[in-house]
Amino acid sequence: MTPAGTKNGIRRVVLALDPGADYRAALVEAIALATALHAELNTLFVEDVGLLGAARHSFVHRYAPMRARWEPFGESEIESAFKDLAGRVRAAVAEAADRGRLPWSFTVVRGEVEAAALSAAQDADLVVLGAGQDAPLAGLRSPSLARLGKRARERSVLYVRPRAPVARLLVVAYDGAPGADRALGVAARLAHPSELTVALIAPGAKAAGKLEEQAKDVLGGQVAGTAFIALPKASAGDLCGLSTRVGAGALVLGADNALLRSAAARKRLDETTCRVLVVR
């Protein structure tokens, strides 16, 4: 097997932002990922068609604090706001990427956030979807595994939650499948061994022991401080519960994990407060 760190398969990180996202928080996360993975950063600013559609209704207003009154907020105002925000986001991306000496690009697309991002990022190795805690529409626009359905397994995606803990700890669901090997390898690039918890999905102690040896082989022996925990069951609830108990900042799954084929499991994963990283 290829030791973690010599090959992670991620060379292009795409950060997808919409007008409801706290782009500063999301950008910090994307820059950290691109830096750790020695990857290029491409930013997609998605003009949300849902907001444009809502603006066509005459009852849509916004509060203008400087004038202390509610004012109509129509399609032209939305278009202007999109253009202004896209300019500010582009400037922030340029500054952060140049500071970190990362190759970068910036593109504006229009559509529904998750679908537009995945369609536009056909060549992306990792897509970052989500909104920071301070995003004005964070509660409404959190990225959703359930909404994406089967498309959730098409490419590697980091789902950022509005209230996700800032801890660097990662929990990796490991069942020995090829996707789990890739997920563990990427996790090893993002965290120190002492910040990794490997959930061994195995029916008994003997099977868990074999999985642990396989995981250590994938990690290339860099396991000092890494925690290995056997989980006889691999339900979404079990993995979310483990992530909560260890204070993980992200749960890492291979795209071939059985949980992603279940609509109920994807919905349960949506409910966890930690980030979910799906590695294809």
> In the chain, where are the structural domains located?
12-143, 170-279
CATH fold label, 12-143: Rossmann fold (3.40.50)
Q: What is this structure's pTM?
A: 0.73
Burial of 177 from C-beta contacts in 10 A (0-12 / 13-18 / 19+): middle
Three-state SS for the chain is CCCCCCCCCCCEEEEEECCCCCHHHHHHHHHHHHHHHCCEEEEEEEEEHHHHHHHCCCCCEEEECCCCEEEECCHHHHHHHHHHHHHHHHHHHHHHHHHCCCCEEEEEEEECHHHHHHHHCCCCCEEEEECCCCCCCHHHHCCCHHHHHHHHHCCEEEEECCCCCCCCCEEEEECCCHHHHHHHHHHHHHCCHHHEEEEEECCCHHHHHHHHHHHHHHCCCCCCCCEEEEECCCCHHHHHHHHHHHCCCEEEEECCCHHHHCHHHHHHHHHCCCEEEEEC
12-143 and 170-279 in the same fold: yes
pLDDT of residue 116: 75
Q: Which CATH superfamily is domain 170-279 in?
A: HUPs (3.40.50.620)
CB neighbourhood size of 87 (10 A): 12
Mean pLDDT by 10 residues, the chain (280 residues): 46 81 76 87 85 64 67 72 89 93 91 72 73 41 51 68 66 93 90 90 93 93 88 86 87 88 81 80
Question: CA 214, CA 208: separation in Å to the nearest integer?
Answer: 10
